[in-house]
Amino acid sequence: MEKVFIDGLSFAMPLLVMAIGAIYSEKSGITNLAVEGFQGFGAFVGALVAVILMPTLGDGSQAVIYIAMVAAFIGGGLYAILHALLCINFRANQTISGVVINILGTALTAFLTSTANKMMNGDSSNKFILGVCDRFTIPGLSSIPVIGGFFKNMYAFEFIIAGIAVVAWYLMYKTRFGMHLRACGENPQAVDAAGGNVARTRFLAVMLSGALSGVGGICFAYSISANFSPSIYMGYGYLAISAMIFGNWNILPTAAVCLFFGLAKSGGYQLCLHMGLPSNYSDIFMMLPYVLTLILLVFFSKKNHPPKAAGEVYDKGKR
């Protein structure tokens, strides 16, 4: 059971930071199916910076990981500009734009990874070997019965993401920027009439969505896979979007859904091991979060209330 908590939390936290990014975008009125692409491109930039720095700072240096997270934050935000331009400036269909961003991200990062490896070491591999992040155990809390597993063998990035979640919640619900952002997703005409800049607010929200997704991507690379490769695109972005929807576009309920998905994934894997099944059966159990997504969709889809202006192209002349 302890292993379920440890692995579940390590999967849920990167998923949460990506879901928060999606919330920011959709709360501003921009439908965001591009989380998967943001995640992958941000992770690519972070991984590239890491492999460049590792020969100097050392393969096991934790400083490399933190620098890679900053680089992934910047890389994801810059890649998100493409989605923002298409949806806000060129008024493209937001759903189609998101799908295109995801497809482009997969192809572009695979090409750039192979090219970078060819230039650095003559090998055309499509992956960067990164290693894993250090783990920590919190004294005292880790000894609590049952839930103590949540505080054992935690990745360092889990603390960082928890801090990001708190800041994101405060920014969304306790600041003037957050109020304007939420208003842009509900009634952008009212924001414009009050002197606000709808386009700028939405642009910043989409960039923030990309930046946070990039952080989630590099955390997955430093934990689950220990490398960056096209396998980083495994539907995690869409799972984050599902968590956002079931969390009704609110950060705290979305965090609970992400934890639920994480426990389902790790629980399924541990069940497979406990039953002594061959390794190829683990893929079936790893599908549990996606199966649960379909089940939850049946029961909760009618109770969800997305932002009223989400997906709508803003027209200043519309009243």
Please state, in angstroms and rounded to a whole number, the distance separating the CA atoms of residues 13 and 132. Answer: 16
**What is the CB-side half-sphere exposure of residue 301 using CA atoms within 13 A?**
7
Read off the DSSP letter of residue 192: H
Please state, in angstroms and rounded to a whole number, the distance separating the CA atoms of residues 80 and 93. Answer: 15
Domain extent listing, the chain: 18-133+150-248
Select from 310, 264, 267 the least CA-distant residue to 291: 264
| pLDDT, tens digit, 9 for 90 and up, residues 130-148 | 988 888 888 887 788 767 7
Q: Which residues contact 57 (CB under 8 A, 6 or more apart)?
A: 63, 64
Query: Does 319 score more than 60 pLDDT?
Result: no
Amino acid at 242: S
Contact 44, 106 (CB under 8 A): no
For the record, the structure tokens of 116 come out as: 């970078």
Query: Does 281 score more than 70 pLDDT?
Result: no
**What is the CB-side half-sphere exposure of residue 157 using CA atoms within 13 A?**
32
| pLDDT, tens digit, 9 for 90 and up, residues 188-205 | 999 998 889 999 999 999
Q: Which residues pair with 227 in a beta bridge?
A: 129
| pLDDT, tens digit, 9 for 90 and up, residues 53-108 | 999 988 778 899 999 999 999 999 999 999 999 999 999 999 999 999 999 999 99
pTM score = 0.94
For the record, the structure tokens of 82 come out as: 């493409």
